[in-house]
Amino acid sequence: MPRFHHANLGVPPGLEEVEGTFLVDVLGYRRMEVPADLAGIARWYEATDGSQIHLSIDPDHRPAARAHTAIEVDEDVVVLETRLAAAGITFRSAGRGDLTVLFCVDPAGNHWELRHPAGNPAAG
């Protein structure tokens, strides 16, 4: 059975630090060490469940118009909205059945869908 391991997202040169800050400070990933042969061209981040986001530094990066990365978040939606706003990340919120979904674009222009189950005990 397939199991999700990581998504690889592009980031233009010079935005890797701000993109990493988004992943760590807003979404709660932790930075990982990359193999020596990837130093300077990739950065890796990991969530508590072991899933990862890999960033590839790409001088030709062009964000997709519709493609996006969707993750489930346990964080209280109000706390997450506050962190997004504090980081200068605009977002929109929508209900999807028993979900609250926040849609945003990260500093590199990549689209995100942040899904929060309404039945989650962390729900605010």
Q: What three-state secondary structure class fits 18?
A: helix
pLDDT averaged per 10 residues in sequence order, the chain, 124 residues: 93 96 96 94 95 96 94 91 96 90 96 84 43
Stated pTM of the model: 0.89
What pLDDT, on the 0 to 100 scale, is given for residue 74? 87
Beta strands in the chain (DSSP E): 6-11, 30-32, 42-46, 52-57, 68-72, 91-96, 99-105, 111-117
What is the domain-level CATH number for residue 48? 3.10.180.10
Residues whose CB falls within 8 Å of the CB of residue 66, separated by 6 or more in sequence, listed in order: 111
pLDDT score of 119: 55
In terms of residue numbers, what domain contains 26?
A: 6-117
Residue 16, SS3 per DSSP: helix
Of 1, 7, 9, the closest CA to residue 110 belongs to 9
Domain count for the chain: 1
1 assigned to some structural domain: no
Q: Looking at the domain assignment, is residue 122 inside a domain?
A: no
Nearest Cα to 80, choosing from 18, 20, 22? 22
